[in-house]
Amino acid sequence: MKIVAIMGSPRRGGNSDIMLDAFLSPRDSLHSLEWIVPSRLNLGFCRGCRFCEAMGRCILRDDMDEVGEKLLEADKVVLSSPVFFYGFPASLKALVDRAQVFWSRKYKMGEKFKPKEGFLLAVGATSGGKLFEGIVLTTRYFFDAWGCEYRGGLFFRGFDQKGAIGECQECLEEIKEAGRSFLSSKNG
């Protein structure tokens, strides 16, 4: 099974990293794992030029070419991210917006993509009741653009300090159990 892990935070060693490591810890040695870390990539932002609607590829030539291949070949995808102003960090949002090429290929050109499943891990500093609504909706449509079915998520409020979620053993156990369940399930 091919697993793709998207690390959405620009900060290394923080809460999103810890959650992703815990989620992936139950994986079997037979699983291949590819990492996507948008903050370390050369990703231009979507220009809204609609080139992808006509040509089936983005006019920009950068790291999104390789990222796209990883996403399309995956069986399972897990996305871990902090919430910045009720949305994704800028580097992750650039990747999400660049998925427009897959939306165009799927909905404008009728291309069928390999089915896959996705899971969202999100953490935020505040306790706002609607803290995760924006990124859940964005994740659902981001996943859908390239044939990935949203299978749920785990959401943690009130973790602001770097690495704070690592002190919450109950949180880590919940994340590990969700990872075990998600990674052992069959697609479809």
Split at pLDDT 50, 70, 90, the class of 188 is low
Cβ neighbours of 85 (radius 10 Å)? 7
For the chain, the structural domain boundaries read: 2-184
User: How many residues are listed for the chain in this entry?
Assistant: 188
**Span 79-101, pLDDT tens digits:** 999 999 999 999 999 999 999 99
Task: Judge whether 151 and 75 are in contact, CB under 8 Å.
Answer: no
Residue 185 and residue 188: Cα distance in Å, rounded?
Answer: 9
Residue 178, Cβ neighbours under 10 Å: how many? 21
Total Cβ atoms within 10 A of residue 93: 20
Q: Which helix (H) or strand (E) holds 144?
A: helix 133-145
Q: Please state, in angstroms and rounded to a whole number, the distance separating the CA atoms of residues 118 and 77.
A: 5
Strand pairing category for 32-36 and 76-82: unpaired
Whole-angstrom distance, CA of residue 157 vs CA of residue 127: 5
Sign of CA dihedral 85, 12, 154, 65: positive
Res 185: pLDDT: 84
CB-based contacts of 40, cutoff 8 Å, min separation 6: none
Mean pLDDT across the stretch 122-135?
Answer: 95
pLDDT tens for residues 33-45? Answer: 999 999 999 999 9
Q: Say which CATH topology domain 2-184 has.
A: Rossmann fold (3.40.50)
pLDDT band at 25 (very low <50, low <70, confident <90, very high): very high
What are residue 68's phi and psi, to 5 degrees?
A: -60, -40
End-to-end, the C-alpha distance of the chain in Å comes to 14
Look up the pTM and report it: 0.95
CA 126 to chain CA centroid, Å, is 21
Task: Using the predicted structure, report yes or no on whether residue 30 has a pLDDT greater than 80.
Answer: no
What number is the average pLDDT over the span 156-183?
96
